[in-house]
Structure 1
């Protein structure tokens, strides 16, 4: 049931993460806004008049998280359907597919396979896939969602597939062929299936303390109907809030018609490292030959990027691009700089245009991001999943280039705004895990403090939308917050990003949970969006 928006709620007896008072233990919410933060003693003045008094029993209250890059329908399908994430072997993946196929009407949709860690060292053949599904149509996206397995039956539903770049008659499909078969699979979802998946994604987000999502939609990743139905579903409920991005070159009118806040998101400049489609200056280490090196795929030129950024800036709309490889990032920088020359640097900076993923940056591109006012919408869980000496990054690029990826500390030092997200279902919705991944980056020089990472996953998501006052618990701010069961709160010492935790209250800095690897992550007890409870444990 929807709560009254004018209710007064007093929370007391806990720890409130607020810059207004680093020692706050209580907070008063009136309607959709925070009215007061302070001590339990002072809170007694509000206890008799509050509609609800919540005894926190030592729980932590923080701003709700913002996931700055999600695909809600695909996330919901992974939550409710065939999940191949973490399959240890090809044989196990085929067994899971075979078990799911008889229970599915229409197209079987699954996600998450990753052959890079399988002992067989390869994905299923088309014949193996057809046998596992008993000939049914099936679409199974790889963990990076830039290539997919498709059965013969599904391929037959996509006319002209064999003529598209990225087509493989026996193996996974990538590039344009993948986009075509994904559109075909999603087109066969019923409205009820789509709504169920979207509801599952929103419910999961709320249960994890996420109060807002940035949906990165587009003609190659979902559909106009998918985005419209998601925004309508979010508007019907109390939360999480959903802000849509429409990733189509020249799609300004479409973005406006759909109610999107930007013409960007997954507007692909390149692909992904996992599928060897991220666009690189130097070739991939584990593909191609000296005579035929593999550099990935470039979908947009710098000139096309410049035209799109200039048009979005003129229209007062935020642009954004998916760019992972260093060649793709350089194309974005070149294009945005050309747009700034055309319409003015200050106007370009004011729009806070975005770059999604932005993994392969050097010092020059980091400085360019800061100069051009580009927001880096990044996913620390990518490093947790694929970084390290034995990870996929090293397989694809070698140790030296892999160590340069996801340079969060360098971006923060340069003044590049960071907004954290998951790219779910590529990596799961997991906000505290994301903060941990940034603070304990597999390359130590790229680590940032827990406090900075938490800010990037809360306030950073709002700042990426141009809403600088949101994502913080101070009087007058929007009351979107989460309540957490935690162990000890700690303050990370400024001179150490690995150890050096402090519980000294004299620091005057609000504490956050201990996120040292191996330590249990906080449990969400309650999520509130604009004063309305959307999750209660």
Structure 2
């Protein structure tokens, strides 16, 4: 007999190994599917979508279903895929010292002092999220004041973009050679190589118990938000092999989102690329840094920073290194990718990829869908080059929401004219460039509906895209960025990764803020989505399912 549930109930337990696959019927709601714009029901068999259609036809599945879920008017969509995440750091930010609300240096130090007081004397103080852009006095606290607040403990406090950090003397003293590395500052935030060194030391101090708790917190939070897949962007300058493999193991053991890991290590030989894949990584990509970030003045620019005329940013890889990496990865059949934000960094990637295409053939390069993370400073020519080389743009709309606009951080760093050109999502889509949306958590929070809202309401109207296009980039786009075309859409034969949402009215929302509330024309096959106009509440996730397995219920 079928077990009847609602989306807030856990559902039937997973079958024992070797048992026949379970059949689940969801009915009485709205199913977001291109197969039928008026679908109200869906059948899942095992880990695969078996059928979608109208309520009347669902009756024939009632007797064979192991579970019947009464949707009670809820919306069923593909689960989101966040295409750029740092899970351990996200978990630490969720469970540890959050500095995102610090109003000034004094407030930051107060938070550090209160947090450090609760820690053992030798434990590293880890904090994240400070941003001087909103402070009346933009100067961060000096090292001596941080030493006092941390009680003499090692302290590592990352700026919101995670490309610079405030560190205490006790942490610097653990790495005597760091004082001579690029980016070291005797009293201010560390950047570049010095920052990478202290980050490795700080994260290396985290024991397996703390790391596992942080990763579990990040995965649980993602599941609560209807996220069914994460692209973990790991690498030797960001985390560790142990951190990545522990995350893979945890995701396999717990009811959790799928974790697709990238390892950001430059290679020059195909065998080295194969070795990265043997780690379980999806590619030698992610945060393989060509430059840094705009907030930390380390994104690589042709013209200098508006608020720091002596600075052009930092180069980590040149054209030759990019070309060698893409060549080796392509020959090995492994996806390559880079972190590139500034206009010079993006141009470096494109020239390197073109050089590699000249060596191994452009069709082989295109076939692997090599990717570029962030890709913020683009021109018409570089957008066209992305399309020509079949590069995937892994982008973060929340960056524009946080730092865009005529008075935002981007305008402070670049001036209003250059800042207005950042994150041109509409131009990328018009050129046929595949988009995969993500958060770069903990840089910006895990918040998929917020990302859609930010893309549809970009601070530059010329760069806005429809909610429907953004939704596709945050679901199907994440699967396609991995080289898979079967996921992120609810049609028969697709992976059963979906989320159930409590929503208000469903609408069709265009990028010019027009909201159509009429019934969807069946000839257009355009299913509606929640209204993401400014001020409208985001949907509430009632259930998240990955490969047919319930990983979150609101109850």
Question: Shorter-normalised TM-score: what interval?
Answer: over 0.9
1:53-82 deviation per Cα after TM superposition (whole angstroms, max 9, x unaligned) = 111111100000000000000000000100
Task: State the SS of the aligned residue for 1:314.
Answer: helix
1:253 offset after TM fit, Å?
4.5
Aligned counterpart for 2:60 among listed residues 45, 67, 77: 45
The alignment status of 1:68 with 2:83, answered yes or no, reads yes
Aligned counterpart for 2:281 among listed residues 250, 256, 260: 260
Tell me how far apart the structure 2 counterparts of residues 154 and 176 of structure 1 sit (CA, whole Å). Answer: 15
Partner of 1:336: 353
Q: Is the 8 A contact 1:108 1:138 kept in 2?
A: yes
The alignment status of 1:442 with 2:459, answered yes or no, reads yes
1:106-151 deviation per Cα after TM superposition (whole angstroms, max 9, x unaligned) = 1111100001111121111111111111111111100000000111
1:226-281 deviation per Cα after TM superposition (whole angstroms, max 9, x unaligned) = 11111111122232000110001115254123110100110000000000000000
Alignment of 1:94-243 (within 5 A): 94-105=109-120, 106-243=123-260
Q: Is the 8 A contact 2:49 2:490 kept in 1?
A: yes
Partner of 1:357: 374
Tell me how far apart the structure 1 counterparts of residues 199 and 530 of structure 2 sit (CA, whole Å). Answer: 40
Which ranges of structure 2 fall in alignment gaps of 5 or more residues?
1-11
- Of 344-353 and 6-15, deviating more is 6-15
- Of 122-131 and 71-80, deviating more is 122-131
Tell me how far apart the structure 2 counterparts of residues 194 and 43 of structure 1 sit (CA, whole Å). Answer: 45
Q: Is the 8 A contact 1:78 1:425 kept in 2?
A: yes
Partner of 2:4: none
Partner of 1:453: 470
1:389 offset after TM fit, Å?
1.1
Q: Is the 8 A contact 2:226 2:543 kept in 1?
A: yes
Task: State the SS of the aligned residue for 1:355.
Answer: strand
Aligned length: 531
RMSD, aligned CA: 1.2
Partner of 1:297: 314
Tell me how far apart the structure 2 counterparts of residues 508 and 29 of structure 1 sit (CA, whole Å). Answer: 22
Partner of 1:244: 261
Task: State the SS of the aligned residue for 1:336.
Answer: helix
1:333-389 deviation per Cα after TM superposition (whole angstroms, max 9, x unaligned) = 000000000000000000000000000000000000000010000000000000011
Which ranges of structure 1 fall in alignment gaps of 5 or more residues?
none
Tell me how far apart the structure 2 counterparts of residues 178 and 349 of structure 1 sit (CA, whole Å). Answer: 34
Runs of 4+ off more than 4 Å:
none
TM-score when normalising by structure 1? 0.97
Tell me how far apart the structure 2 counterparts of residues 330 and 205 of structure 1 sit (CA, whole Å). Answer: 34
Aligned counterpart for 1:283 among listed residues 304, 312, 318: 304
Q: Is the 8 A contact 1:116 1:122 kept in 2?
A: no
TM-score when normalising by structure 2? 0.94
Q: Is the 8 A contact 1:489 1:503 kept in 2?
A: no
Task: State the SS of the aligned residue for 1:515.
Answer: coil
Tell me how far apart the structure 2 counterparts of residues 517 and 88 of structure 1 sit (CA, whole Å). Answer: 25
Partner of 2:390: 373
Task: State the SS of the aligned residue for 1:478.
Answer: coil
Aligned counterpart for 2:94 among listed residues 53, 66, 79: 79
